[in-house]
């Protein structure tokens, strides 16, 4: 047997999954047991597309055993672009991460396991903390000691037995509140975000209103008629990962 009571087969598969995740393009990868994530109380999601409570793993896969959470580093503003497509926004950076994750799904299925790509109503942030990728920041993002908040999360739910990682328990924010002070619309309080006030959560009517129009143009500058950069102000304020991101 190996640590956590897992079999040698589970350890071998876990090592292979992590190796492939990194080879396919992920910079960070961790494992969470389905039971550990399910033990976390459900919480309300206030995003404009998902106004509901988080779900449990069995809602997506009845015999779920493990979750794979991957962090894909964003080292340039090009990864922060948003494209307005008719009446909704699309995020090209998500396509890159989902491509990496789909390759891992195909590997698991080829080994005879079930795998669900991106079970959206399971909290990826909670997975990331439980898997040791980083801590919850006061800007409500996951902060990694090396990359800071500059990475995106992709997830896979599977019935494969994998060896879970240890949770991240350090507090990387401490007494710092630079992100809170930096928010141009006052949407942040420590560890909480008002999604309806955040620039990225506002309706288009609010974004173009007299109250917020100039703020939107400054913090979400347009690149083309239908493309703009998402607001990164609270991320830029974070003290972690600044050198790798090329920030002064």
Question: In the chain, where are the structural domains located?
Answer: 3-158, 178-245
On the CB side of 209, CA atoms within 13 Å amount to 10
Q: Are 38 and 125 in contact (CB under 8 A)?
A: no
pLDDT digit string, tens, across residues 169-179: 999 999 999 99
- Say if residue 141's pLDDT is above 90: yes
- Distance from chain centroid for Cα 63: 24
Report which secondary-structure segment, H or E, holds 135: strand 135-136
Q: How far out from the chain centre does Cα 3 lie? A: 27
pLDDT for 55-66, tens place per residue? 999 999 999 999
Query: Interior CA angle at 13 toward 30 and 99, to 5°?
Result: 60
- pTM for the structure as a whole: 0.93
Percent of the chain at pLDDT exceeding 90: 87
Q: What is the pLDDT of residues 64-105, one digit of tens each?
A: 999 999 999 999 999 999 999 988 889 999 999 999 999 999
């Amino acid at each position: 047997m190996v640590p956590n009571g897992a079999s040698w087969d589970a350890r071998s598969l876990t090592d292979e999954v992590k190796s492939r995740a990194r080879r396919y393009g992920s910079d960070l990868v961790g494992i969470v047991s389905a039971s550990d994530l399910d033990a976390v109380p459900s919480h309300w999601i206030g995003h404009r597309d998902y106004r509901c409570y988080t779900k449990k793993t069995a809602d997506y896969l009845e015999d779920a055993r493990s979750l794979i959470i991957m962090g894909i580093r964003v080292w340039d503003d090009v990864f922060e672009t948003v494209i307005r497509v008719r009446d909704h926004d699309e995020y090209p950076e998500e396509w890159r991460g989902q491509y990496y994750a789909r390759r891992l799904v195909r590997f698991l299925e080829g080994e005879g396991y079930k795998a669900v790509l991106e079970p959206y109503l399971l909290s990826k942030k909670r997975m990331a903390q439980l898997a040791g990728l980083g801590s919850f920041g006061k800007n409500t993002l996951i902060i990694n000691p090396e990359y800071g908040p500059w990475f995106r999360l992709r997830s896979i739910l599977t019935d494969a037995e994998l060896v879970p990682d240890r949770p991240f328990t350090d507090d990387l924010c401490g007494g710092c509140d630079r992100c809170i002070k930096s928010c141009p619309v006052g949407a942040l309080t420590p560890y909480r975000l008002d999604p309806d006030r955040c620039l990225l959560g506002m309706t288009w009517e609010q974004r173009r209103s007299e109250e917020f129009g100039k703020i939107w143009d400054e913090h979400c500058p347009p690149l083309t008629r239908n493309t703009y950069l998402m607001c990164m102000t609270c991320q830029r304020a974070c003290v972690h990962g600044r050198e790798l991101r090329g920030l002064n």
